[in-house]
């Protein structure tokens, strides 16, 4: 699961995540210069996800690896940081047999409560490297709710659509439309769930 720290620098985030009083943690922090700091062993539970669910299951902390990117979410992520993330993700995905459809943002599992990694995060870049999913260009007709539920979004959360759109169509405005449904259907094709 990808997050941004929303703090001034990577060291401030590391200090906070290592402070027992904070009651939060993450497995990794990646600085803008690409430095990767591991805070929690991958096989251990870190407290990065909070309340939410993905693919119909809660307690996401117990079944995810949290990666914090040092960024406030208001500007693009540094090239060296993205390169380090790609290397880290490849290793994690290989070690844990994780497919690209299971690489998610905090906002995917907790829409309305969390917005990170936000609209400045380059999901398309990760998808081009096989590290996340992105829509292909095949036309598809579908129902957004049905496809979004199959992808893993919790439709009981009224903010799920906003989280979906923030990740896959951040430029779009207005209510859910046919293109949102087509995007969701194409994502299902890419994830092999159609």
> Which residues are marked as active site?
68
Q: The dihedral of CA 99, 163, 34, 133: what is its sign?
A: positive
130's tokens: 């096989």
132's tokens: 């996340």
Rounded to 10 degrees, the C-alpha dihedral 117/2/128/181 comes to: -60
Among the listed residues 50, 69, 62, 63, the one whose alpha carbon sits nearest the alpha carbon of residue 107? 50
65's tokens: 């690896």
């Amino acid at each position: 699961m990808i997050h941004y720290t929303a703090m001034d620098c990577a060291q401030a985030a590391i200090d906070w995540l290592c402070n027992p009083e904070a009651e939060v943690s993450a497995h990794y922090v990646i600085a803008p210069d690409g430095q990767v700091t591991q805070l929690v062993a991958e096989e251990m539970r870190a407290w990065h996800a909070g309340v939410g669910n993905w693919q119909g299951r809660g307690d996401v902390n117990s079944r995810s690896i949290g990666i914090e990117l040092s960024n406030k979410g208001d500007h693009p992520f540094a090239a060296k940081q993205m390169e380090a993330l790609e290397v880290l993700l490849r290793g994690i995905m290989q070690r844990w047999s994780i497919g690209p459809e299971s690489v998610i943002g905090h906002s995917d599992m907790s829409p309305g409560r969390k917005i990170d990694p936000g609209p400045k995060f380059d999901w398309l870049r990760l998808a081009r490297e096989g590290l996340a999913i992105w829509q292909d260009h095949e036309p598809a007709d579908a129902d957004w709710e049905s496809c979004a539920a199959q992808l893993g979004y919790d439709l009981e959360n009224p903010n799920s659509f906003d989280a979906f759109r923030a990740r896959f169509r951040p430029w779009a405005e207005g209510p859910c439309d046919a293109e949102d449904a087509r995007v969701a259907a194409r994502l299902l094709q890419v994830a092999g769930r159609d």
